Amino acid sequence: MKWYVVSSVVLLLFTAPSAPAEPSFGDPVLCAGQTSEWWQAPPSGRIGPRNELYVAWTHSGFGSGDGGVYFARSLDTNRTWSPGITIHFWDPSWIHAVYSGPTLVEFNDTLYCLYWTKPEGSEARHLYASRSDDRGASWNIFETSISGSVSDNPGRVSYVVLPGGVVHLVFATRLGMARDRTYYCRSTNGGITFSAPAPLPGDPSATSVYAPSFVVATGGELLVAVTYSGPALVLNRSTDNGATWDTTRLTAQLGAGSYPSLYSAGANRLYLLWQGPSNGELRFAGSEDLGRTWSAPFSIVGASWSCGFAARDDRVLALWGDAGAWDNFQRHSSDGGATWAAAEPVWSSNPFPGDWLTFRADIRNDLAAFWMHPEPGSIEATYCAAAEWQTGVNEPGRVVVPTAPALTATPSVFSSLTAFGFPAGFRPGTVLVCDASGRPVRRLDGSTGLRWNGADERGRRLPAGVYLCRTDGLRPVRVVLVD
| Model confidence at 362: pLDDT above 90 | yes
Q: Which long-range contacts (CB under 8 A, 24 or more apart) does 171-179 make?
A: 171/127, 171/146, 171/197, 171/212, 172/209, 172/210, 172/211, 172/212, 172/226, 173/125, 173/148, 173/149, 174/148, 174/149, 175/146, 175/147, 175/148, 175/149, 176/149, 179/204, 179/206, 179/207, 179/208, 179/209
Number of domains in the chain: 2
Q: Average pLDDT for residues 72-89, to the nearest whole number? A: 86
Query: What is the span of the domain harbouring residue 331?
Result: 19-388
Q: What pLDDT is recorded for position 73?
A: 92
Close Cβ partners of 323 (under 8 Å, ≥ 6 residues apart): 305, 356
**Which pLDDT band holds residue 387 (cuts at 50, 70, 90)?**
very high
In degrees, to the nearest 5, what angle opens at C-alpha 420 toward C-alphas 72 and 476? 30
**Of 68-82, 415-429, 466-480, which has the strongest mean pLDDT?**
68-82
Q: What pLDDT is recorded for position 92?
A: 52
Residues 217 and 183 in one domain: yes
Distance separating alpha carbons of residues 466 and 470, to the nearest angstrom: 13
Residues in the chain: 483
337 in any annotated domain: yes
Residues 378 and 470 in one domain: no
368 in any annotated domain: yes
Q: Average pLDDT for residues 100-113, to the nearest whole number? A: 87
Residues 373 and 423 in one domain: no
For the chain, give the mean pLDDT: 80
Least confident range from 5-19, 142-156, 179-193, 425-439: namely 5-19
Q: What pLDDT is recorded for position 64?
A: 47
Using CA atoms, how far residue 385 sits from 23, 343, 424, in Å, is 11, 18, 38
Least confident range from 147-161, 307-321, 322-336: namely 147-161
Whether the CB-CB separation of 246 and 262 falls below 8 Å is answered with: no
Whether the bond between 411 and the residue before it is cis, its omega within 30 degrees of 0, is: yes
Collapse the DSSP code of 210 into the 3-class scheme (helix H, G, I; strand E, B; otherwise coil) and give the result: strand
474 in any annotated domain: yes
12 in any annotated domain: no
Close Cβ partners of 20 (under 8 Å, ≥ 6 residues apart): 387, 388, 389, 390
| Model confidence at 292: pLDDT above 70 | yes
Residues 477 and 345 in one domain: no
**Which pLDDT band holds residue 37 (cuts at 50, 70, 90)?**
low
Distance separating alpha carbons of residues 483 and 163, to the nearest angstrom: 40
Q: Quickly list DSSP for 461-482.
A: BPPSEEEEEE-TTSB-EEEEE-
Residues 351 and 414 in one domain: no
CATH of the domain at 472: 2.60.40
Q: What pLDDT is recorded for position 18?
A: 47
Whether the model pTM is above 0.95: no
**Which pLDDT band holds residue 16 (cuts at 50, 70, 90)?**
very low
Residues 285 and 432 in one domain: no
Whether the CB-CB separation of 360 and 156 falls below 8 Å is answered with: no
